[in-house]
Chain A
Amino acid sequence: MRHKSARKWFNLLMLGLNSLGAGIAIVIVCLMLGYIIAHGLTFINLDFITGSAVPAGQPGGGMHNEIIGTLILVGLGSIIAVPIGLFTGIFLSEFGTPFTVSVVRFATDILAGVPSIVVGVFAYAIIVKPMHSYSAFSAGAALAIIMIPVVARTTEESMRMVPGSMREAALALGITRWRAVVSVVVPGALAGIVTGVMLGVARISGETAPLLFTALGNSFGYSGLGSPIGALPLQIYRYALSPYKNWQQQAWAGAFVLVVLVLIISIAVRWLSRKRRV
């Protein structure tokens, strides 16, 4: 009898400790998000969205140019990454042989694990150095490299979930194979593909490390794809490390904008994929 109760107590203790782990993780999220949102909210104002950077020590100013810059960079990254990622996903799900699929999938997984700062160094070496100029284009290319694996893997996974019977039905109607893929399988997997693109956008919109030596930063507004460009996460980094109160407060406001963006995308992704999870 005594032996049994010792086992039961140990059981409760271990279950409690494991639950504590989950509790700690959730508390950390709430502390961090709560602080960023509450703190950022007090510093955000219209000037932050519409104003440009001001010299150190002066009040006011905003990150208008950096917000626009981030939108341009994310757009540029997506324009490059979405087609490549989409077609890679289609290849992995529909056309590959077992050997090519395992090679490409392995490469995609490994590419997803390459540290973003190394991607930045790569973009610097192949674009910035030969062109002798920091540029928006090189930053977009770096972000695209980070985004491609996200889009490719989610596209592949969601296309594999389209039942084989739909492909067979399309082929039985006399349609060619690529038309079946393009007009039956891809539309069937569209929610998953959109999810992947949104996840990719969320990922690259906050990336900072690859922008350090590609985009460089530029507080005077957009001046062409071949010139340096400002970006919200880059400016948050610079301002956070500056000794000026006003700049630090703007960093918090910028963090608020980015976190809200990421939260909206996360919730939308969850809403989009709720049917598939159940």
Chain B
Amino acid sequence: MIKSKTRVLFRLGDKIFPKFTLICSLIVVAVLVNILIILFIQAWPAIKESGFSFLVGRSWDPVKNAYGALPAVYGTLLSSILALVIAIPISMGAAIFLTEIAPSWLRSIASFIIEILAAIPSVIVGLWGLFVLVPVVRNPIESWLGTHLGALPFFQGPPFGFGFMAAAIILAIMIIPIITSLGRDVLKSVPGAQREAMLALGATRWEMISRAVLPYGRSGLIGAIMLGLARALGETMAVTMVIGNGYRITASLFSPGTTVASKLASDFSESSGLSLNSLIELALILFIITLSVNVIARLLIWRLTSVKGKAD
């Protein structure tokens, strides 16, 4: 009697348990969908009020109820793209070093050290940036660029230290470990036969890397870079602490600026009414930008793995 009862119970478990895990998975999907819906609903008063001018407006003035997102979006894109310009050569070099050049005992130690950088909380990177990096950016970096390349529009104005330049360097530091470790995984997935074939043709090691390994992993490497970009676009604390909080559009990298994330971090808790709705609309814009970059990056990385599957 008892035996059959437990058996029924276990059979029931086979019905219930998979459903239960499905429900938990659906919660994850629901959270993602709800972020989009809730942000949209909360931003709606601002969308209705400002309309298209929100996207092209250049001022953020709660007194006049005039809200324009352009300087924040500009700051986000400028600092992130500049960060990529700094981070790509360093992290590609590091990824190639870790898979192709380093002796095997060095590989795991070096990877571990670089990965620690990714684990340091953003606010602590910001603290370091505030007290160590910003003074260095002001002098010598900005003052040198100002005296020698001051004719270029990017290097004009007084060297503040706080500004796009400092933000870009901090962002570069934060995305180097991400691009490096993803890039390393991509290069690892390149079949050894690719390398051997190239070396057998008499290629030097660099020719082997540049003509056999990198072209094979190209889409995966681009995916890794885009995931780094997505991270840079949404990075908040470290940027907020060094970018200087100026709401303007200027070519000068010395100038204080704002990103969408830093605007949210510094204004959100003191806002209410339409100004709050407008900030939520900013968050919605940031969400949509990072979502698109993430989706493209994932698809690129998936394409590589499926190509690899076919090759096997």
Contact = CB atoms under 8 A, between A and B. Distances in A.
Contacts of A125: 38-39, 42, 280
Contacts of A120: 264
A107 interface: yes
A29 B132 CA distance: 14
Interface stretch (B50-58, B60-68, B94-102, B248-256): B94-102
B234 A118 contact: yes
Interface stretch (A41-49, A59-67, A236-244): A236-244
A177 B17 CA distance: 9
Interface of A: 7-8, 10-11, 14-15, 17-22, 24-26, 28-30, 32-33, 35-36, 83-84, 87-88, 90-92, 94-96, 100, 103-104, 106-111, 113-122, 124-126, 129, 145, 148-149, 152, 176-179, 181-182, 202-203, 205-209, 212-213, 216, 233, 236-237, 240-241, 248, 251-252, 255, 258-259, 262-263, 265-266, 270, 277
- Which among B110, B234, B279 has the highest number of chain A CB atoms within 10 Å? B234
B303 to A, nearest CB: 14
Contacts of B27: 84, 88
Interface in B103-123: 108, 110, 112-117, 119-123
Nearest to A210: B236
Given A21-B91, A179-B10, A87 B21 contact: yes
Contacts of B18: 91, 94-95, 178
A212 B262 CA distance: 12
Contacts of A18: 92-94, 96-97, 100-101
Interface string B280-308: 10010011001100110010000000000
Nearest to A115: B234
Interface residues of B, number: 90
A177 B47 CA distance: 51
B226 to A, nearest CB: 10
A109 B287 CA distance: 14
8 contacts: A19-B97, A88-B24, A108-B28, A110-B291, A181-B17, A241-B241, A259-B120, A263-B116
Given A29-B116, A87-B21, A104-B28, A11 B205 contact: yes
Interface stretch (B141-149, B151-159, B172-180, B190-198): B172-180
B130 A240 contact: yes
B2 interface: no
A32 B123 contact: no
B210 to A, nearest CB: 7
A176 B10 contact: yes
Given A7-B207, A95-B18, A209-B237, A106 B298 contact: yes
- Which among B38, B108, B112 has the highest number of chain A CB atoms within 10 Å? B38
Given A91-B21, A262-B119, A212 B93 contact: no
Given A114-B35, A237-B237, A14 B176 contact: no
B77 to A, nearest CB: 14
B246 to A, nearest CB: 16
B265 A233 contact: no
Contact of B39 (A122, A178, A209): A122
B35 A20 contact: no
A163 to B, nearest CB: 20
Contacts of B132: 35
A31 B3 CA distance: 65
- Which among A33, A108, A125, A277 has the highest number of chain B CB atoms within 10 Å? A125
A119 B35 contact: yes
B101 A100 contact: no
